[in-house]
A = this chain, B = another copy of it.
Amino acid sequence: MGCRQSFRQCCDRPKNTNVRISLPAVCFVWQIVVIILFGIFIRYDQESDAHWAEYRKFQNISSDIENDFYFRYPSFQDVHVMIFVGFGFLMTFLKRYSFSAVGFNFLIAAFGLQWALLMQGWFQSLDPMDGKIKISMESLINADFCVASCLIAYGAVLGKLSPVQLMVMTLFGITLYAVDEYIILNLIHARDAGGSMVIHTFGAYYGLSISWMLYRPNLDQSKRLNGSVYHSDVFAMIGTLFLWMFWPSFNSAITDHGDGQHRAAINTYLLDMVIGHMVHIQNSTLAGGVAVGTAAEFMLMPYGSLIIGFCCGIISTLGYIYITPFMEKYLKIQDTCGIHNLHAMPGVIGGIVGAVTAAAASEGVYGKAGLINTFDFTGKWKDMVPSRQGGHQAAGLCVALCFGVGGGIIVGCILRMPIWGDAPDDNCFDDELYWELPEDEESIPPILEDNNHMRNRDV
């Protein structure tokens, strides 16, 4: 504790909030690096390459409609809307931070997606023949997922970090995510179609740990801006609705063709309905889709989805009332958007539900082929049984938690350094630091003034 204290003091020098040079410089250098790496590593896969016609003939594929594009594209676009409109507008609720909410969300996503394509490519789809990463629609969806975890983390630190800090947070977050995902999905062989563990649990604890490391004891000096106004809340509803509506696409985007996608969409839809029922718009509504993430493609049964939604809605709502204030007061974790209620708890619940559902899977319910398809009991894992799969799912959840908390603490330390241009405690949640704002709403009256002027002229 003493050590942390002295580190804190070393970091708490006066801050320089000017990012006018550092931000473009970082972006510029970064973009050059990415372009070079893309030039070396990234190529189209056979479904998007111009050789598709030959490949199709060779593979005896009967029609162009079986190109993966037509299986994935509608879900992909929905996920894309969630990332940019959903997450972006969800965070516009602060009265004077809407530009930054949407703008930095955009920055994180655009920056993160490129890095994610590379990191996930190296870990998951490097072609051993030519050392290239072959990208397709599925890679883009996976990159969107990866970025979602960083946007969740952004929710915890909204209004408190500078854009340069956000880029550092994203850079490490994506890297950790790719490793974490590789361990959970490939080494441990846990299934996580909608990312309860990989995306939500990891992302939320990553953000909360960073927020903990960057605790601002005098944040109430910015209290005047840490709240909403009527119209900013309506903007936030746009984000909430788009996130919420497209949750079925999110959870079904990368599941197996056919029944897997169908079932994942139905499960998420049903659960969403219960959650929606709980009215706490902008808050607990989003918890449901998270909690069914892992189990979305399993045979959860329609009533199972409803029960999970019901429990999550209650837990998430209680979280807002009791846990968030408790965390802020006693654990020194300032969670601007309440991601602990929206993503962390539902994510953990989702992981547990996934483990239980997997352990309880039986051939009677799934059919022999269905069991193998759903849990991918093939190749190296062909002797796996559902009960052991349950254990692997639980192990996956633990890994996600460790990566989130551990990674967050380390990155938080880095971000405490006084070189990143973050706002002082009495100036958080304010667009003015980073954007040229238009004149205020109140200055519209000139119209009236001008009408007088015209009337005078008429006289």
**Contact of A383 with B by CB under 8 A:** no
Check: A51 CB closer than 8 A to any chain B CB: yes
For A78, the closest partner residue in chain B by CB is B77
A265 at the interface (CB under 8 A from B): yes
CA distance A23 to B85 in the complex (A): 31
A50's partner among B39, B96, B263, B444 (CB-CB below 8 A) is B263
A265 to B234 alpha-carbon distance, docked (Å): 31
**CB-based contact B370/A234 at 8 Å:** no
> Known contacts being A35-B306, A109-B276, A444-B440, is A65 close to B70, with CB within 8 Å?
yes
For chain A, what secondary structure do more than half of its interface residues adopt (helix, strand, loop), or is it mixed? helix
How far, in whole Å, are A238 and B71 apart by their CA atoms in the complex?
28
CB distance from A162 to the nearest CB of B (A): 13
Chain B contacts for A23, CB-based, 8 A: 279
Q: Pick the contact of A447 from B96, B99, B266, B454 — CB < 8 Å? A: B96
In-complex Cβ contact of A224 among B34, B66, B275, B447 (8 A): B447
- Among B50, B74, B84, point to the contact of A244 (Cβ < 8 A): B84
Known: A306-B34, A446-B224. A50 touches B259 (CB 8 A): yes
Most chain B beta-carbon contacts within 10 A, residue among A27, A35, A258: A258
Contact status B258-A44, CB under 8 Å: no
Instruction: Say how far A217's CB is from chain B's closest CB, in angstroms.
Output: 19
Residue from B249, B441, B445 within 8 A of A230 (CB atoms): B441
Q: Does A140 contact B (CB under 8 A)?
A: yes
Give Cα distance in the complex from A437 to B231, angstroms: 11
**A258: which of B53, B269, B450 is its contact (CB, 8 Å)?**
B53
CB of A38 within 8 Å of the partner chain: yes
Are A231 and B85 also in contact (CB < 8 A) when A62-B62, A263-B48 are? Answer: no
A302 CB contacts on chain B under 8 angstroms: 38, 42-44, 135
The 10 closest A-B pairs by CB, nearest first: A110-B276, A50-B370, A52-B259, A64-B258, A39-B303, A48-B262, A64-B257, A38-B303, A50-B366, A69-B262
**A residues whose Cβ falls under 8 Å from a Cβ of B:** 23, 27, 30-31, 34-36, 38-39, 42-44, 47-54, 56, 62-71, 73-75, 77-78, 80-81, 84-85, 88-89, 92, 95-96, 98-99, 102-103, 106-107, 109-111, 113-114, 135-137, 140, 163, 224-225, 227-235, 237-238, 241-242, 244-246, 248-249, 257-259, 261-263, 265-266, 269-270, 272-279, 281, 285, 299, 301-303, 306-307, 310, 365-367, 369-371, 373-374, 426, 430, 432, 437-447, 450, 454
